Structure 1
Amino acid sequence: MHATSTSDQTRRQELADFLRSRRERITPEQVGLPSTGRRRTPGLRREEVAQLAAVGVTWYTWLEQGRDIQVSGQVLEAVSRALLLDPNERAHLYTLAGAGDPSPTTDCLAVTPTVRVILDQLSPLPACVLNSRYDVLAYNDSYTKMFGDLDLLPFEERNMIWLIFTDRDYQARWLDLEGARAQGVARFRAAMADHVADPAWKAMLARLRQASPDFEEAWQRHDVGARENGSKGFLHPEVGVLRMDFTYLWLGLRHGTRVVVYTPADEETAARIEELARL
């Protein structure tokens, strides 16, 4: 019993330290809260995390102090979103809390080994998996050759909307950058209607508005667009112009996670895709 008790205490202390470290790395602006000037401590305050997660301040304080309290998976999910945890951090949170995950991250768990095999088998056609927020969750080698190596980027920057407004190399690969930006913002706004209170979505929106005046201008137009199959043009630095049709293959509920497959729109592009595969 004593060994078990000591183990539980150690785990709760690890949980407390982890929560505090995640809280201290986030600024109010990242989660859509107003800045209140200089702060005595870095990051968010405990009451702000509690507010974002819609939990009691006392309860969250006790959780961060490593007290022996009941923790449900649903509340951990809210805390995870408030702290902007990535999938690995989220899983770590549930493990430390000793709680079962009531709603495993649908977007990320949709990228099963089977889906990854499908992505690989689609080569030489470029393909990726997007979630509803336009995070790029997985991609095949052909997608990397067409758009660049996303593995070199931090997890939070592997997002199509973020890249099209902030990454010069990514921007240079679009024939109609302004059209792609306008369409991307309109579709992002339409998707966000289902997630207006989600801290992760609010944080992404705040980051975009702060990072890009062009995004802010497009956002203020309040355009909305549907996520439908279509066509795009790209300029690859080695093989030239690629005119591609793209098709959504939904992995769950429509407007959620999907595989996006790019196929050549003409014979010239088909030849260039084969050339790209040989690079």
Structure 2
Amino acid sequence: MESDRDPVTLGDLLRSRRARLSPAAVGLPPGVRRRTPGLRREEVAQLANLSPTYYAFLEQGRQVRPSAQVLDALAGALRLNAAERQYLDVLANGRPASAQPPRAPGRRAEAPVETISADVVDLVQRLDPHPTIVKGRRWDVLASNPAARELFTDWESRPPEDRNLVRWMFSGGEARRVYLDWEREARAMLGRFRLATAAHLNEPNIAALVAELQRDSAHVRRWWLEHDVVSIGSGVKLLRHPRLGPLEYSHVVLQVADRPQQTLVTYTPRTSGLTD
């Protein structure tokens, strides 16, 4: 069965990363008559030890299947980081065929209705007063405790179709009030979302969400074209609590074992308060 490869987006990624590199950055002479910034196609092919024609086919979105060795060579030539290397692999190979649900010929796969275990919901509630949520494959908020609803937004009072974390980040003013450095955090969230959903962007409900985000947010329209991706992981965030004011929080991200596309995120304040 065919995997959900995306050769067109793969070509877009290669072009964008080629444009970001100068010859000096990769040890090449500057050359002459360079009309655009960045590397030329033949220079990337040289660095990756590929034929210029084969590399051109990759950038053009042709139906070629680069091997793992070719992808490693491209990642090295274009100086990709770990998240970008993972994204490159997803675009080139998609999901393994064995992981895809069966579908009728010529029909797009519909995403199944997402459910969450009652035990996970109970765990989220027991983690209160630490703000905790569980987000699903499309980053819909599937569970939240009172502390999370106070800190971010009252997810349970929203219609089910309006409980999406990325949509909330880019619409209205709530997220801008909560995140002290909204632009940096919003850009990073979009990069994490892109990497997490890269193998599923042809699914109707995810494709519709991406189209909606691009339609409604100038930031998403601009950043989506840049193909930035960010690895999902734990860290520290500066958030403004509605009662306690600005606080520094450490957050931990955990994968739900029997539903690996669902993640639990829990926050712990690290300081008693910060000045605005």
Pick the TM interval, shorter chain. Answer: 0.5 to 0.7
Q: 1:156 offset after TM fit, Å?
A: 2.1
Q: 1:252 offset after TM fit, Å?
A: 2.9
Task: Note the alpha carbon deviations across 1:196-243, whole angstroms, 9 max, x for none.
Answer: 321111101000000111111111111011111111111123210121
Equivalent of residue 81 in structure 1, options 110, 124, 128: 110
Measured in 1, the distance between the counterparts of 2:259 and 2:230 equals 15
1:227 and 1:255 in contact (8 A); partners too: no
Q: 1:126 offset after TM fit, Å?
A: 0.6
Equivalent of residue 241 in structure 1, options 240, 246, 249: 246
Supply the AA of the counterpart residue of 1:248. V
TM-score, normalised with respect to structure 1: 0.56
Residue 179 (structure 2) pairs with residue 177 (structure 1): no
Q: Structure 1 regions of 5+ residues with no counterpart?
A: 1-72, 83-103, 270-279
Equivalent of residue 173 in structure 2, options 146, 163, 168: 168
Calculate percent identity across the aligned residue pairs. 29
Q: 1:254 offset after TM fit, Å?
A: 8.8
Supply the AA of the counterpart residue of 1:81. E
Equivalent of residue 145 in structure 1, options 147, 150, 153: 150
Number of equivalent positions: 172
Q: Match of 1:226?
A: 231
Q: 1:192 offset after TM fit, Å?
A: 2.3
1:163 and 1:171 in contact (8 A); partners too: no
Distance 1:255 1:180, change over 3 A: farther
2:234 and 2:251 in contact (8 A); partners too: yes
Secondary structure of the equivalent of 1:193?
A: helix
Supply the AA of the counterpart residue of 1:237. P
Residue 201 (structure 2) pairs with residue 196 (structure 1): yes
Supply the AA of the counterpart residue of 2:139. Y
Measured in 2, the distance between the counterparts of 1:152 and 1:216 equals 29
Measured in 1, the distance between the counterparts of 2:109 and 2:151 equals 33
Match runs of 1:1-279 below 5 Å? 81=110, 105=113, 108-109=114-115, 111-252=116-257, 256-266=261-271, 268=272
Task: Note the alpha carbon deviations across 1:113-156, whole angstroms, 9 max, x for none.
Answer: 11111111101101010123221111011111111212232222
